[in-house]
Amino acid sequence: MKVVVIGAGIVGLFAALEIQRTGRHVVILDPGDPGGRQAASYGNAGWVSPAALMPVSIPGLWRQLPRLLVDKSGPLVIRWQHLPRLLPWLLRFFWAGRSWKKVEACAKLRFELCRDSVVDHQRVAAEAGVSHLVEHKGALFVYPEKSDFLASQFYWEMRRRLGFKVTELDKADLQKHEPNISDRYQFGVLLEEECHVTDLKAYCEAIAELIRNRGGEFIRAQAKGLMISGGRLKAIMTDERSIECAQAVLTAGIGSKKLAAAAGDRVPLESERGYHVMIADEGKTINRPIMPTDGRMGITPMRQGLRIAGQVELASVGAPPDWRRAKILHQWLSSILQSPPVVSDKVVDQWMGHRPSTPDGLPCIGPARFCRGLFYGFGHGHTGLTQAPATAKLLAALVAGQEPHIDISAMSVHRF
């Protein structure tokens, strides 16, 4: 009844917790701390977004590629020297968003992974004794012009159709909700369902503590390979020793690619590198998370200050961070908030991390093809915090040999 969980980011932690609920003993492997700086789960924007339905690839996006390659200050950059290696992934990425019909089909699947995320996070936060870290204040999307909002109707109509409450705010209403937002924003949309985590590291640590208190074991080691015999998982090899097991879940974020390959599955998983800067903010400058749609970043009020998180940088996992990306995020702040400055200029942290991204906007959830006993739960890209609870329930069902509560065939590794 032992199950090894490889990776202690938010997906691995939720998976371990759900697997424990089925009466199994969990052993969690990670060379770093649960939700530590090495994990994407440490530095994201903290949004739990049931309405994060849209994949990144949409029709016509490929036309922007040449501009993206030259514009170094935009929200997406590709480092030239990595382009040849990234090309197959990029082609699949653009192909996945080739029609609105495809986008809608993907969004419906994503909805299944996102829909219960707020209640699930609130439930787990309460169990872990950290309800105060999950704040339910909605999220605000702000537009320079109403016409910008009207141009993105497809997104909002789909959300409305799926039952989300979409509240449109004119400039006066927007200022009432967020008095410190720059008056160059003429229009806003409030999504009341969204919530946010105000300290991701503390949240992950609290979940890890809950798992420990329920008998779970943490081993600080890196999984290096798999021992497979007769098509069955026998052990996980680590840099320290091998750990015998008949079942394991692979939830190692961007680190999953190598281990899936060791099990015979070549998955097109790439890092969409992202950045954040934290600014000291004792005055609570904004009341809730804000997405300025012209800058495409998440600004979140957190315990340690205001976090500005975003940017997509396509390079390689090992390439050194380019802190100019963090600077671009910081520079945006002065045009998003009121002038003269209403927030300090003191940077208290900056960070770079890896969104583990498949080209089609769906994670890999399901059994490995050539290794019985191994299950995948990785590739959540931009929305892993949101999708962690649903992924965890699916993994727990798979490990227990039960039918998952939703059809996950489109998330299978077979699709590649």
Ligand X SMILES: Cc1cc2nc3c(=O)[nH]c(=O)nc-3n(C[C@H](O)[C@H](O)[C@H](O)COP(=O)(O)OP(=O)(O)OC[C@H]3O[C@@H](n4cnc5c(N)ncnc54)[C@H](O)[C@@H]3O)c2cc1C
Interacting residue ranges for ligand X, rule: CB under 6 A: 6-12, 29-32, 38-41, 44-47, 49, 222-223, 251-253, 255, 259, 274, 276, 298, 309-310, 353, 355-356, 378, 380-386
Q: Measure the CA–CA gap between 43 and 203, rounded to whole angstroms.
A: 12
Q: What minimum distance in Å lies between the beta carbon of 388 and ligand X?
A: 7
Amino acid identity of residue 14, one-letter, is F
C-alpha radius of gyration, the chain, whole number: 21
- Cβ contact 393:124 at 8 Å: no
| 169: CB partners within 8 A, 6+ apart | 140, 177, 187, 188, 189, 190
- Cβ contact 332:308 at 8 Å: yes
- Cβ contact 267:248 at 8 Å: no
Q: What minimum distance in Å lies between the beta carbon of 366 and ligand X?
A: 15
Q: Which is nearer to ligand X, 32 or 264 (CB)?
A: 32
Q: Which is nearer to ligand X, 172 or 219 (CB)?
A: 219
Q: Which is nearer to ligand X, 6 or 133 (CB)?
A: 6
Q: What minimum distance in Å lies between the beta carbon of 194 and ligand X?
A: 10
Q: Measure the CA–CA gap between 347 and 275, rounded to whole angstroms.
A: 13
Q: Which is nearer to ligand X, 152 or 222 (CB)?
A: 222
Q: Measure the CA–CA gap between 102 and 246, rounded to whole angstroms.
A: 37
Q: What minimum distance in Å lies between the beta carbon of 145 and ligand X?
A: 25
Q: Which is nearer to ligand X, 37 or 147 (CB)?
A: 37
Q: What minimum distance in Å lies between the beta carbon of 351 and ligand X?
A: 8
Q: Which is nearer to ligand X, 41 or 57 (CB)?
A: 41
| 245: CB partners within 8 A, 6+ apart | 2, 3, 4, 27, 233, 234, 235, 236, 373
Q: What minimum distance in Å lies between the beta carbon of 175 and ligand X?
A: 25
In 3D space, the residue among 269, 353, 279, 277 whose CA is nearest the CA of residue 312 turns out to be 353
Q: Which is nearer to ligand X, 96 or 308 (CB)?
A: 308
CA torsion through residues 182, 188, 189, 190, sign: positive
Q: What minimum distance in Å lies between the beta carbon of 200 and ligand X?
A: 8
- Cβ contact 356:378 at 8 Å: yes
Q: Which is nearer to ligand X, 75 or 97 (CB)?
A: 75
Q: Is the peptide bond before 359 cis (omega within 30 degrees of 0)?
A: no
Amino acid identity of residue 15, one-letter, is A
Q: What minimum distance in Å lies between the beta carbon of 248 and ligand X?
A: 11
CA trace torsion 59, 353, 259, 382 (10° rounding): -30
